[in-house]
Amino acid sequence: MYYGAYKNLRNSAWHCLLEFGIAQLPVDIRAIAKQAGIHLVQNSTVQELLPTERGKSFFYNNQWIIVYDDRNETTASRYTIAHELGHIFLGHELQHARYSETQVFHKKPQAEQYADRFALRLLCPACVLWGLDLRTTDEIATYCRIEKEQAELRAKRMKLLYDRQKFLTSELEQKVFENFQEYIQRERFRIESKRLAMK
């Protein structure tokens, strides 16, 4: 993947967090959609998705609509909605954007890969995970309310960032971190207290 594209979608996720006033975990994905004027629809009411699809987005009557499979757990639905928001906010030129059950990352079209990366960075901002000193799959899954599979991907990326100490290198990332400061200070105390109690 080209770094320029990665930087763009990374920055897009940060802009989204800032624009919609997100200042704590788990990221309120429904509030983002509502503020952006994006209508969320449960598939059980419209029967729009194919059996292999978790969600799709489309533009109808001058409004973006995201249909998601509401039979899934909340953690899965949150990721699906974030993925579809990725298509919309990244400006993908799609009439329909469908999120299928495809598990093999490199077999997905580029737009789907970008939407996946956007979703993880939106739901699990690295500077916030760093501020809370969250490192494990379980910690990330719990605090970000995402599935273990996505949390594992984020934990692997975070390990690289921790090893390189690549945090707050961008002014935009610093603004995101600043927005989360009060939450980070409050939660960091709870996390450290819990870890001490477990020793």
* Alpha-helical runs (H) found in the chain: 3-19, 29-35, 43-46, 74-89, 110-123, 126-132, 137-144, 148-164, 171-179, 181-198
Return the pLDDT at 157: 95
User: 140: which 2 tokens?
Assistant: 């990330």
pLDDT in tens, 17-55: 999 999 999 999 999 999 999 999 999 999 999 999 999
Amino acid at 181: Q
| pLDDT above 60 for 100 | no
Per residue in 107-131, pLDDT (tens digit) is: 678 888 999 999 999 999 999 999 9
The percent of residues above 70 in pLDDT, for the chain, comes to: 88
pLDDT band with cut points at 50, 70 and 90 for residue 132: very high
pTM of the model: 0.89
- Give burial (CB, 10 Å; 0-12/13-18/19+) of 77: buried
Long-range CB contacts for residues 131-137, cutoff 8 Å, separation at least 24: 131/177, 131/180, 131/181, 131/184, 131/188, 132/25, 132/184, 132/187, 132/188, 132/191, 133/188, 133/191, 134/158, 134/191, 135/159, 135/162
Domain positions in the chain: 3-198
Collect all residues with Cβ–Cβ distance below 8 Å to 163 and sequence separation of at least 6: none
